[in-house]
Structure 1
Amino acid sequence: MPLSVPATHRQVLLAARPQDKLTTDHFEVTTAPVTEPGPGQVLVRNQLMNVAAVMRPLTIADPDRFALAQLLQQPGDPMHGPAIGEVVAAAPGTDLVPGELVRHRLGWREYAVVDAAEAQRLSPGTLPDPAAYLSQGFAAWLGVVRGAEVRAGDTVFVTGAAGGVGTLAGQFARLHGAARVIGSTGSPRKAEYLVKELGYDAAVIRGAGPIEDQLREAAPDGIDAVFDNVGGEQLLAALAVARRGARFALVGALSAQLTGDAMATVPISAFDLIARGITLRGTAAYDYLDAYPQYEREFGRALSEGTMTYPHTRLRGVEQAPRALCELVEGRHVGAVLVEL
């Protein structure tokens, strides 16, 4: 083990799975030994991790059926999530070497022993800000390009537009020719940010009246494409306002996920979908991994040229990760939330 590596490090455990509101009491910051990597593994000094609403510990009856087992956290286990860090030691059986930057899924701890096959080497310079490697931009790009198939002249509705995914989805929609972009959010402050800072044309606000009524006012001629990250009332409102042939990318279901009941259903008329030729397409990143290089090139170019920004908030210290997730779930931040380790 390199002399600069400490004997112990800090990590965050799930103390109890929440049944209602998520609080910092559901987590515990502990000290654990830093272990040496085994064959085919590397030891990574984590530098930056992100938190996302999907990390809220879920209770799902059959996670394997829905390919969600990786999202489940067991009480007493370390939390996990995307992180980037520097390789500080590499065992035989890997081509990674100390000093390289990698991305992996063992965040929420200062040091991580990672299987080399699960550590993605980062190409310096592809994205101008290393933090952008932790963005949820791939989900945003996929929903816009592959899911909703946004086209020139479209009116696009993005639900959950002020979050880590939505702040990028609206910008990608504009890059791909959308003529009008409307977002939903939870406060007038965030609505103002969407319009003034991110180029949205209008915003509807959860709690400021029926979403459908607000959406009809914002899109009097209807909606052509929908990037749905919320579900529930907002999905139903979008369906009501959709034009014939509208295309929906179903990327998230935050209205259900944040209550712990990720499998909650929404009543939708199959006949209405057929009669109006509306397409609903579930869009998950693991089905489109071949598209990642295309996304990364486009995102990197847009960031470098200033045609897109990466809105995010940073907190410092692994002990701040529980607070970061709780505040994100409560809707206190705009864009992504990162923790420097």
Structure 2
Amino acid sequence: MTTSTQVQLVSRPKGWPTPEDFRTVQVELPELGAGEVRVRNEFVSVDPYMRGRMSDAKSYVAPYALGETMTGGAVGRVTESTAEALPVGTLVLHGLGWRDVAQGPADQFRQVAEIPGAPSSVHLGILGMIGLTAYVGLTEIAHLQAGETVFVSGAAGAVGTAVGQIARLLGAGRVVGSAGSAEKVDLLTSRYGYDAAVNYKDAPIREQLPAIVPDGVDVFFDNVGGDHLEAAIDVFNTNGRAALCGAISGYNDVERPAGPNNLWHLVSKKLTLRGFIVGDHAHVAAEFGEKMAGWFAEGKVVFDETVVDGIENSVEAFLTMMRGGNTGKMVVRV
């Protein structure tokens, strides 16, 4: 028998999740059935959206079931197979998440390319859902035009680091961002294509933002919500557009936060604020994949990861990411 180490949700967090909301278990896997594969994961993804699935509130995706293994993106290699299309040794991407060994029908796994000089985790980041999210938000949602100014909240995170670079490649005239430390601010301008950035912990973002966008903002890519959304509304130019990707600042709130107090600008400036879920835009994946493969091969995009070792440390990795302790994509190396 093959044993799989898996992390399960056992109670729904109230406010910030704690290690006690999870358990690590050993699961014995049965022999493969026809058309199935067994995969040893190399990297598992932890992402902000997972916090929402830990609650039982109605959302765009079903909540995690208590007592079941956490699902999410993972990349690994086939170690046993009864499926002709996925022989042993194939690198695959799947959504079975927080476990070291995954098993199931072959159609739950998708073969991905080996990228010379890059870890397989790149398929969880800039070449995968993270990069696609950034591209969709800028093109399908905000309709970025050449020469426009883009503001990005949570700019040093996985999506934010991709947004800055892709916006530049798509012809943005100026790209600015916010992050939570001086080190991250420096990385934004030295590595990720940002023209300017601020540390939102130095002073309220609403006070800092006008100085770095004296000519206003045309596109806002929001990963944070709350005070950052309010600040962006202040500095939007007429016909500004916001792609609302996330609102991590409020994911662990136990009381309803106050809303922005400047929403009248939506009328006076003729603004568009549109939320989006990347899964609704699968039709863009091929276009993104072709462009990103070219940019990546030409060295026009870079990526960083924050890596936590050991599937048993997935909860620690998730909580660290939620507190902003990552630069770029947070992954668990199995």
Same fold (TM over 0.5): yes
Q: Is 2:93 aligned against 1:103?
A: yes
**1:21-36 → structure 2 map (5 Å cutoff):** 21-36=16-31
3-state DSSP of counterpart to 2:135? helix
Match of 2:277 in 1: 284
Gaps of 5+ in 1: 1-5
Q: Is the 8 A contact 1:53 1:258 kept in 2?
A: no
Identify which of structures 1 and 2 has the higher relative contact order when contacts are C-alpha pairs closer than 8 Å and 6+ apart: 1
Structure 1 residue 60: deviation in Å?
4.2
Q: Is the 8 A contact 2:233 2:263 kept in 1?
A: no
Separation of aligned partners in 2, 1:95 and 1:155? 46
3-state DSSP of counterpart to 1:171? helix
- CA 1:126–1:287 in structure 2 vs 1: closer, same or farther (change >3 Å)? farther
- CA 1:273–1:285 in structure 2 vs 1: closer, same or farther (change >3 Å)? same
Match for residue 273 of structure 1 among 263, 266, 269: 266
**1:33-182 → structure 2 map (5 Å cutoff):** 33-56=28-51, 57-63=53-59, 67-69=60-62, 72-91=63-82, 95-125=85-115, 129-135=119-125, 136-182=130-176
Structure 1 residue 148: deviation in Å?
1.6
Match of 1:3 in 2: none
Structure 1 residue 163: deviation in Å?
0.8
Q: Is the 8 A contact 1:81 1:105 kept in 2?
A: yes
3-state DSSP of counterpart to 2:188? helix
Q: Is the 8 A contact 2:189 2:196 kept in 1?
A: yes
Structure 1 residue 140: deviation in Å?
1.1
Structure 1 residue 188: deviation in Å?
2.1
Separation of aligned partners in 1, 2:195 and 2:118? 27
Q: Letter of the 1:106 partner, please give it.
A: L
The superposition leaves residues 158-185 of structure 1 with CA deviations (integer Å, 9 ceiling, x where unpaired) of: 0111111111111111111112111111
3-state DSSP of counterpart to 2:210? helix
Match of 2:227 in 1: 233
Q: Letter of the 1:24 partner, please give it.
A: P
The superposition leaves residues 36-76 of structure 1 with CA deviations (integer Å, 9 ceiling, x where unpaired) of: 3444432222121111122225324323xxx221xx22332
The superposition leaves residues 274-293 of structure 1 with CA deviations (integer Å, 9 ceiling, x where unpaired) of: 33221222222122101112
- CA 1:302–1:264 in structure 2 vs 1: closer, same or farther (change >3 Å)? farther
3-state DSSP of counterpart to 2:166? helix
Match of 2:187 in 1: 193
Structure 1 residue 300: deviation in Å?
2.1
Q: Is the 8 A contact 1:312 1:338 kept in 2?
A: yes
Match of 1:216 in 2: 210
- Percent identical pairs in the alignment equals 35
Separation of aligned partners in 2, 1:252 and 1:127? 31
- CA 1:213–1:271 in structure 2 vs 1: closer, same or farther (change >3 Å)? closer
3-state DSSP of counterpart to 2:191? helix
Separation of aligned partners in 2, 1:305 and 1:184? 27
Structure 1 residue 207: deviation in Å?
3.0
**TM-score, normalised on structure 2?**
0.90
Q: Is the 8 A contact 2:234 2:265 kept in 1?
A: no
Gaps of 5+ in 2: none
**TM-score, normalised on structure 1?**
0.88
Matched pairs, number: 329
Q: Is the 8 A contact 1:49 1:108 kept in 2?
A: yes
Separation of aligned partners in 1, 2:261 and 2:300? 37
Match of 1:319 in 2: 312
Q: Is the 8 A contact 1:80 1:105 kept in 2?
A: yes
Structure 1 residue 318: deviation in Å?
0.8
Q: Is 2:314 aligned against 1:339?
A: no
Separation of aligned partners in 1, 2:272 and 2:157? 24
Q: Is the 8 A contact 1:58 1:257 kept in 2?
A: no
In angstroms, what is the RMSD of aligned CA positions?
Answer: 2.3
3-state DSSP of counterpart to 1:288? helix
The superposition leaves residues 73-95 of structure 1 with CA deviations (integer Å, 9 ceiling, x where unpaired) of: 23322111100112233346x73
Structure 1 residue 303: deviation in Å?
2.0
Q: Is the 8 A contact 1:16 1:75 kept in 2?
A: yes
Match for residue 18 of structure 1 among 13, 31, 41: 13
